[in-house]
A and B are shown apart, each in its own frame.
Chain A
Amino acid sequence: MPDPILRISGLDAFYGDFQALYDVALEAGEGEVLAIIGANGAGKTTLMRSISGLTQNKAAMVRYRGENIGALRADEVAAKGIALVPEGRQLFPSLSVEENLIIGGQVGRKGPWSLNAVYKLFPILQERRHQQSTSLSGGQQQMVAIGRALMANPDLILFDEISLGLAPIIIKDIYAALPGIINEGMSALIVEQDITKALSVSSRFYCLQEGRVSLEGASATVAREDISRAYFGVA
C-alpha cells in the first residue's frame, strides 16, 4: 500500500496548559475525504491546529507524505500544501474580498485554483470583490474563507466547523459546493458538529471524545447508536 498523505500517530497536544489530545492516531489516503466528529471540547480544533502547525508538537507525531511535519511552523506547513479553513472564518478585516483571496495564494503553489476559478465557484464574490470582507454576510464570508484556502492550491485541505453560525440554507449551499472543491485529487479533513452532513460527504470518519479517538469507520455503514456512544460516551 502506498504511503497515506497524512499519518498521525501518538499525538499528544495541548491547548494552553490543558492537554486536549491523548495518543491520537489517524490516517488519510491520497484523495480521501475524512470526517472528524465529536462534541464541543473533544479536541477537534486542537487536532486541526496540530496538523496546520498553529500548535507545534513533536516532529514525528504528524507525518505528511512521509515527512515529519509535527514541529514545523504554520507558514512552513502551508508551503508543503496543507491549507486550513479556520473555525469562525477569520478573514482579514483590513483587506478587501479580493485581497483576502490573493493573500491565500501567497505561498505560490501551482494548481487549478486561481482568482478566476474561485469567482466561478462563488460568483457573488466577484461582484463584491472590492468590498471590505467584514461587510459580507456570514455565508459569503465563509465562501471567502474557503476560496482563500483553495488559492494556496493545497493537496490537503482542512475544514474546521464550516457550518458554524450559518443559516441552514447557506450550509446546504456550501455543502453542495464541496464535491466540486474536493475533486482533482485533493484530500480533505472535515470537522463538523453536524454528524449527518459530515458523514454524507466523507468516506471514513473519526470520532473524538475527550481528546481520544473513540470510534472510526466507514461513513456509509456506521450505525447511529455506535456514533451516539462514541460521541457522548454513554451506553
Chain B
Amino acid sequence: MFKFLPYVFKGLWRHGMRTFLTAGGAAVALFVFCFVASVQEGLNRLTDGGDADRTLIVFQENRFCPTSSRLPEDYARTIREVPGVRDVMPVQVWTNNCRASLDIVVFNGADPQQLRENRGLTLTSGDWSAFENRRDAAVVGASLARRRGLSAGDTFSIGDLSVQVAGVFTSPVAAEENVAFTSLEFLQYTRGLDSAGLVTMHEAYLTPEADPDTVARGIDDALRAGPVATTTRRKGAFQASTLSDLVDLIGFAHWLGFACVGLVLALVATTTVMAVQDRVKEHAVLQTLGVRPGRVFGLVVCESLLICLIGGVIGTAAATAVLAFGGLAVGAEGVTIAFRPSLSLAATAAGVSAGVGLFAGVIPAWHAARTNIVAALNAA
C-alpha cells in the first residue's frame, strides 16, 4: 500500500484548490472543536479537580456574587474548631466584573503564608519575600499575566486597585492562573470595599479522613448563632453552582463541537465523492491493470483520511497555540474557567480527524471498488 502513497498524494495535489479548501474547512472545524472541548475540560478540571472535594467554601447564605458575601473574619476561629478541619484561610475576593466575561480579573486577598501552604503555587518569576513584605504587592497567575502583559516589577491598576507585581506563578489548578493574590489586609482596606474585619469567604481545608458533607454541616451549625448565616459547600460544588449559567452555555457549546465534527464529515465526504466521480475511469483502469478492489478502496479512504488529518492537525495546532499563549479564560462571579491545551485534547482532536476521515471515505471508496470496470472504461 505504501508504494502507492505517491499516487495518493498526487491525487490530492491534482485538485489542489479543492484539497486546500476542504483541509481548510476541516482545520477551522477542528479549531472550534478544540476550543469547545478545552472549555469543557476546564470546567471538568474546576469541578472534579483534586481540591474540589477536599476544600470547603464557606459563603454568606443566599449570596452569590463575591461583593455581596460579607462574613466576619473571626469566623475562622470557629470553623477551625469543627472536627475534620485542618486549616482555614479567610479570603477577600475582588473582581472587576461579577457577570460572565472573557476578560475577568479576580483578586484574592489572603494571608501569604497560608497561601504558600495551601495552594501549591510555584513562582516562575519574582520572589515570595517581596510579596510578603510589601502591603500592595501581588503575585499574578501566569494566564492573567500573559493576557495583561504583566511581569514582576510592573504596576497593575484596575478600577480602584493598584498593585505591584511581585511575581508570576503557575498552579496545579489551571483556573487559579487567572487570579492575582494580594495580602488580605490590602484588599480589605481597598477603597470602595470597606471590609475591615470582613471577608468574602473562608476556605476550609479538610483532614484526610474527614467527610466533606459532614464537616460542611458542622460548620454551618457552628456559625448559626453568629451575626451572618453561612452556606458551606465543597469547592467543586460551589464553583459549579457559581458558574451554573455558564455551565448551561458550555453544555450547549458541547453540541457545537459535535456539529463541527458533522461539518467536517460532510465536507470531506463531499470532496471524496467528487474525487471518486471525477476518477471513475481511472479507478477502472487501475483495476484493469490488476489493482485489487480492496486496494482501490484503501486508496480512496487514504485520500479522505489524509485530507482530514492535514486539516485536523493544522486546526488542532492552531487551537493549541492560541490556548497556550492566549491566556484565555471565561468567568463569572469571581470564579474562572481556564482554557488550556492538553495532550489528551490534541490526541482526541487527531483521533476525531482520523475517524471522520476514515468514515467520510468509506462509501465513496466502496463505490470506487465495486464499480463496473467495463461500464466505467466506456464512460466519457
**A and B bound?**
no
Residue numbers of A with Cβ under 8 A of B are: none
A-binding residues in B (CB < 8 A): none
